[in-house]
Structure 1
Amino acid sequence: MGIVIKQSAYASVINYIGVAIGAFTTMIVFPKFLTQEEFGLFRVVISMAIILSPFAQLGLPRSTLRYFPRFNTSPKAAGRFFTFVLILGFFTILLFILLFQLVDDWVFSFFQKNASDLVHQYWLIISLAVILVYISIIEAYYKAQLNVIIPTFMREIFLKASSGILALLYFFDIISFEWFLKYIVISYAVSLVVLVVILLLKKQLHFNFSIFQLKKPFVKEMLKYMVFIMAGAVGSVIVFQIDQLMVTGFMGTSYNAIYVIAFFMGTVIEIPRRSISQMSDAIIANAFENERIDEVKKIYKQSSINQLILGGFVFILVVINLDNIYAIMPKGDDYIDGKLVAVVIGISKLILMAFGVNSEIIISSKYYKSNIYFVLILAALTVLFNAILIPEFGLIGAALATLFSIFLYNLMKMIFIYHKLHFQPFSIHTVSAIAITVISFVILNYIPQFEDGILNAIYLSVIASIIFGLLMLIFKPSKEIDTIIKPIKDKFKS
């Protein structure tokens, strides 16, 4: 777990820098430089491409992560496997584009009434989806080599900073809004090129076009795996992206802008999960490959408690500062209707983190085929909840749909893992972690506050950190986190 902690620590730093950039662009730059309609359209273009990309990649990124250790015996073998993946990716993209032509009119008809501008971005969305396919494959290659720092930097810092700069150029009339969207897609293409070039410069990327030497049983096994994994990838993007599309379709792009900002605030809470799961992913795949089930069990429990603690702390910081955030935001009054959305999304992220790395365990195990049944249920529940709750409750309905879907989906996966592998992620420390979060939140509600938004945010954040830290020292729910904070406690003692 040492390399996981080390890489996760560096990735977490990059993630939080990315969050700072993302927060600045999402809550300051875009509301100031774009209209609500433009902001909402820009984000739904990205969401649409993200939802379409799993259909085009057909499970290739996860397959790369699963099977690369089998070929990582020599540059020649690794090169043969990865060249096969890249060529296969070209054909899966081509197949997707051809098949999508059969249903594209039906898909885009949903947006004709309230978001007709989205229909005009058809080929821009397709282009971005294609680029995302190869970015996902290259990122999986990095993860297979236990390197998440570079792809995390490109995704969390480069792309977010680029979008902010492009918005600034649009604001000063240097580029049109149409070209703003085009340059956004180009920035993703640049990110892909940089990722590939770095691998080449480090001599970690090899090509070998003797792909026909791959044994047919392996090719058959991998293709079969890809079909099932595609369903998992589709389900994941549906639960995290379909709400934006359905908000846009039912309510319009301006409401999507409000929802995006609130959703972003809630999503900040899951940053520790991203770093931990990124590194645990490769370790779990390797552990299953070598039949080290005890190691998988250990990672499962560690991921659950540590993610819950870190997520609980960030949840408190976000929720107690919501009024301050909207007060500081440009045009904050136009977006404050999303305040309760941020709270509900935050709770859904805490639930997701509490269940640990259950998706990674199922997909990497011999029971990966079962994932398709979970995903089919997830997809049905997500679309159903959104279709019922958005027309009835508006933006908060979309947030509730996400919460219900995430809870039911993860509960089913946890029960399945317990039934098949006989272990689950929770312990008495889970209760302690929840208690720390609840007690901290209750105490903070009785703390007197300042009127100035910035001063009040700093003040509340410091008080929250002290209270949460003291409760951590009392309850000690995590050995890993306690090891990190022990030197700080010893310094105060001395």
Structure 2
Amino acid sequence: MGVVIKQSAYASIINYLGVAVGAVNMIFLFPEFLSQQELGLFKAIFSMAIVMAPFAQLGLARSTLRYFPRFNKGPKSSGRFFTFILITAFFTICLFIGLFQLIDQWIFGFFEENAPELVQQYWLIISLASILVYISIFEAYYKAQLNVVIPTFMREFFLRISSSLVALIYFLDIISFEWFLRLSVATYALSLFLLLAILLFRGQLHFNFSIFQLKKPFIKQMFKYMIFIMAGAVGSVIVLQIDQLMVTSYLGLEKNAIYVIAFFMGTVIEIPKRSISQMSDAIIASAFENERLDEIKKIYKQSSINQLILGSFVFILVVINLDNIYNIMPKGDEFSSGKWIVVLIGLSKLIDMGFGVNSEIIISSKHYKTNIYFVLILALLTVSLNVLLIPRYGLTGAALATISTIFLFNLMKMVYIYYRLQFQPFSIHTLSTLLLSGLCFTIMNFVPQLSNPFLNGIYLTILATLLFGVFMLFFKPSKEITKIIQPIRDMFKL
């Protein structure tokens, strides 16, 4: 876990810097620079591309992570394997585009009434989805070499800074809105190029086109794995993106703008999970390959309690500052109807974090095929609940559908892991963390407020941090978290 903690620490710093940039974008720049309709269209394009990408990728990214340890025996062996992955990706993208032509009118028909502007961006969406396929493959290649810092920097920081610059250029009337969309997609192409260039510069990428020397039984095994893994990837993006697309379809682009800003605030809570999961992913895949189940069990429990503690802390900070955030946001009164969306999405992320790295365990194990059944249930639940709840409850209905499906999905995976491997992520510390977090949140709701939203935000954040930190130091629900904050205690001789 030493490598995991070190890389996760660096990645977490980058993640939070990226969140800071993303917060500036979503809370200040985009509401100021874009109209609600423009913001809604901009985010809908990316949501549609993200949903399409797993179908075009066909599980190649996860296959890279799973099978790379088998070929990591030198430049020739690893180069042959990764070259095969990159060439296969080209053909899976072409296959997807060809098959999508058969159903594209039906898919985009859902948006013709309330969001016809989205239909007009057909080829821009296809281009972005294709770029995302290769980005995910290169990110997996980095992770397989236990390097999450560079892809995290590109995804969480570089792309968000680039988005800020493109938005500023549009605001200054240098480009049209159409070119704003095109340049936004171009930043992803630039990110892909930089991921490739860094690997080549560091001598970590070797191309070997003797791919036909790969044994047919292995290729057959990998393609079989890819089909099942694709279902898992599709399920993940359904949970994250389908609600935004269905909000766009049912309620229009303006409502989607309100939803995506609230959704962003809610997803801030899962930042610690991203770093921990990224590094745990590669370790779990290697542990299964070498049959080290005790190591997987340890990571499972550690990921659960550590993610729950960190997620609870961030959730408290976000929710107690909601009024402050909307008060300082440009056009905040137009977006403030999304407050409950933030709370519900935040809770869904907290639930997901509390269940630990269950997805990574199932997908990396020999039971990965079962994931397709979970995903079919997830897809059915997600779409059905959105269809049922969005027309009745609007934006809140979409958030309710998300939290319901995430809880049920994680519960099913946990029960299955326990049935197959006889371990689960929870302990008495899970309960104590929930009780302490609830107590901290309750206390913070009774403290006096300041009239200035900036000062009030700083004041509430400092107070909540001190209170939560004292609870964690005193009750010690996690050894890892205690080690991190112990130096602070020693500094102040607490």
TM-score by length of 2: 1.00
Map 1:238-387; keep pairs closer than 5 Å.
238-387=238-387
Q: 2:408 maps to which residue?
A: 408
Q: CA RMSD in A?
A: 0.6
SS at match of 2:113: coil
Q: 1:14 maps to which residue?
A: 14
Q: Deviations over 1:381-431 (max 9, x none)?
A: 000011100000000000000000000000000000000000000000001
Q: Distance in 2 between matches of 1:105 and 1:43?
A: 21
Q: 1:420 maps to which residue?
A: 420
Deviation at residue 300 of structure 1 after TM alignment: 0.1
Q: Distance in 2 between matches of 1:490 and 1:117?
A: 58
Q: 1:50 maps to which residue?
A: 50
Q: Distance in 2 between matches of 1:433 and 1:32?
A: 39
| Alignment partner of 1:70 is 2:47 | no
Aligned residue pair count:
494
| Alignment partner of 1:152 is 2:152 | yes
Q: 2:231 maps to which residue?
A: 231
Q: Distance in 2 between matches of 1:328 and 1:486?
A: 35
Q: Distance in 1 between matches of 2:68 and 2:172?
A: 47
Q: Distance in 2 between matches of 1:442 and 1:171?
A: 42
Q: Distance in 2 between matches of 1:493 and 1:274?
A: 33
- One-letter code of the match for 2:110? F
Map 1:94-243; keep pairs closer than 5 Å.
94-243=94-243
Deviation at residue 165 of structure 1 after TM alignment: 1.0
Q: 1:489 maps to which residue?
A: 489
Q: Deviations over 1:264-296 (max 9, x none)?
A: 010000000000000000000000000000000
Q: Distance in 2 between matches of 1:3 and 1:331?
A: 44
Q: Distance in 1 between matches of 2:485 and 2:17?
A: 22
- One-letter code of the match for 1:119? V
Q: 1:429 maps to which residue?
A: 429
Deviation at residue 491 of structure 1 after TM alignment: 2.1
SS at match of 1:464: helix
Q: 2:41 maps to which residue?
A: 41
Q: Distance in 2 between matches of 1:453 and 1:388?
A: 37
- One-letter code of the match for 1:276? I
- One-letter code of the match for 2:112? Q
Unpaired stretches in structure 1, ≥5 consecutive residues: none
Q: Deviations over 1:72-127 (max 9, x none)?
A: 00100000000000010011001000000000000000000000000000000000
Map 1:448-467; keep pairs closer than 5 Å.
448-467=448-467
Q: Distance in 1 between matches of 2:69 and 2:102?
A: 38
Q: 1:442 maps to which residue?
A: 442
SS at match of 1:110: helix
- One-letter code of the match for 2:352? L
SS at match of 1:448: coil
- One-letter code of the match for 2:322? L
Q: Deviations over 1:319-372 (max 9, x none)?
A: 000000000000000000000000000000000000000000000000000000
TM-score by length of 1: 1.00
Q: Distance in 1 between matches of 2:168 and 2:279?
A: 35
Q: Distance in 2 between matches of 1:301 and 1:460?
A: 31
SS at match of 2:278: helix
Q: Kindly, what percent of the aligned residue pairs are identical?
A: 71
Q: Which runs of 4+ in 1 moved over 6 A?
A: none
Q: Distance in 2 between matches of 1:404 and 1:89?
A: 34
